[in-house]
């Protein structure tokens, strides 16, 4: 039997998870309610299940965290040969359509002005070509940020009443710098540019978000968000669905926090579809 590369990678990941869990096929079969022979076929690449749910059960019994589940979901979809359909993963069920074409009214209102301005800048810098990455930042924050938005997470801690946003770690301007969660700073007297993003049209669809400080764009790198030189790559194309989830158009995964936590410096990741409040975001206009 010839096994293609995608199926082999999925089988290797399942085998690795089984070995780390230290469980036999019999023990896993008992806990997952999947037959021993079926589990063996999954782990040897002889079979790829038509639905993700049995692999999710297997992964959870093996102690997988959310990031590992996301990785496994991508491997499964590649092995299944369904890499182009507009779907997302629903933990505990089948993939369901990703409603990425409907945008919340607040996102529409907030994006119109920003996109209009971004369009002017778009053509001014070279007829649609990506603007060059800034080699240095102004010594002080500019007086205004026309068209800029903050990507604000919907979850608020009752004990604090504090909102959190997508923030470039340590004011970095470097390629591949981490984008994590941080308290929303509204004091324009201080440098808040690492929390500000200019929405621009992405090609062929969606929106990309260019950081005001670094002039780099929010991008998907594996299962985590980073900033990267702006291109037409689908890894930099994003869209709000009708529930306010910010969805990567590269793989239809949602921007989320690790284990749905909110705190300063909390890691962000691309996660399977869920109803978690941490998967909901707002693009909120900043002072101009």
* Structure-token match 């995608």, residue found: 6
Q: Are residues 226 and 262 in the same domain?
A: yes
Nearest to 43 by CA among 270, 20, 67: 20
238 near 248, Cβ under 8 Å? yes
In a domain, 88, yes or no: no
Determine the structural domain holding residue 248 and report its residue range: 105-285
My answer on whether 76 and 183 are in the same domain is no
Mark whether 183 and 77 lie in a shared domain. Answer: no
Same domain, 168 and 49: no
pLDDT digits (tens, 9 = 90+) for 158-182: 777 789 999 999 889 999 999 999 9
Using one digit for the tens of pLDDT, what is the confidence trace for 241-277?
Answer: 999 999 999 989 999 998 889 988 999 999 998 889 9
Is there a domain that residue 257 lies in?
A: yes
Distances (CA, A) of 32 to 23, 60, 88, 120, 181: 12, 9, 23, 55, 35
CA angle 193, 233, 249 (to 5 degrees): 85
Beta bridge partners, 268, equal 257
125/175: higher pLDDT: 175
pTM of the model: 0.53
- The half-sphere exposure of 100 on its side-chain side, counting CA atoms within 13 A, is 23
Q: Are 274 and 155 in contact (CB under 8 A)?
A: no
Q: Is the dihedral of CA 156, 159, 161, 162 positive or negative?
A: negative
Note whether residue 171 is domain-resident: yes
Q: What is the number of domains present in the chain?
A: 2
């Amino acid at each position: 039997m010839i096994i293609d590369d995608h199926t082999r990678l999925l089988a290797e990941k399942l085998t690795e998870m089984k070995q780390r869990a230290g469980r036999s096929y019999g023990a896993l079969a008992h806990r997952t309610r999947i037959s021993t022979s079926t589990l063996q076929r999954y782990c040897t690449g002889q079979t790829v299940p038509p639905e993700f749910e049995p692999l999710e059960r297997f992964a959870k019994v093996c102690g997988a965290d959310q990031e590992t589940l996301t990785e496994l979901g991508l491997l499964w979809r590649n092995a299944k040969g369904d890499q182009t359909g507009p779907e997302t993963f629903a933990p505990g069920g089948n993939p369901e359509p990703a409603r990425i074409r409907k945008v919340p009214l607040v996102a529409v209102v907030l994006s119109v002005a920003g996109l209009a301005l971004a369009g002017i800048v778009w053509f001014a810098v070279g007829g649609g070509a990506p603007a060059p990455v800034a080699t240095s930042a102004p010594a002080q924050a500019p007086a205004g940020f026309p068209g800029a938005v903050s990507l604000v997470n919907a979850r608020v801690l009752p004990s604090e009443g504090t909102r959190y946003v997508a923030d470039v770690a340590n004011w970095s301007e470097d390629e591949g710098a981490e984008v994590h969660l941080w308290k929303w700073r509204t004091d324009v007297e201080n440098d808040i540019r690492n929390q500000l993003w200019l929405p621009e049209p992405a090609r062929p669809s969606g929106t990309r978000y260019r950081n005001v400080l670094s002039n780099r764009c929010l991008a998907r790198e594996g299962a985590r968000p980073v900033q990267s030189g702006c291109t037409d790559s689908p890894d930099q194309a994003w869209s709000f669905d009708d529930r306010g989830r910010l969805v990567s158009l590269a793989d239809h995964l949602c921007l989320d926090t690790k284990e749905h936590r909110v705190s300063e410096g909390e890691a962000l990741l691309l996660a399977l579809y869920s109803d978690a409040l941490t998967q909901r975001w707002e693009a909120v206009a900043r002072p101009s």
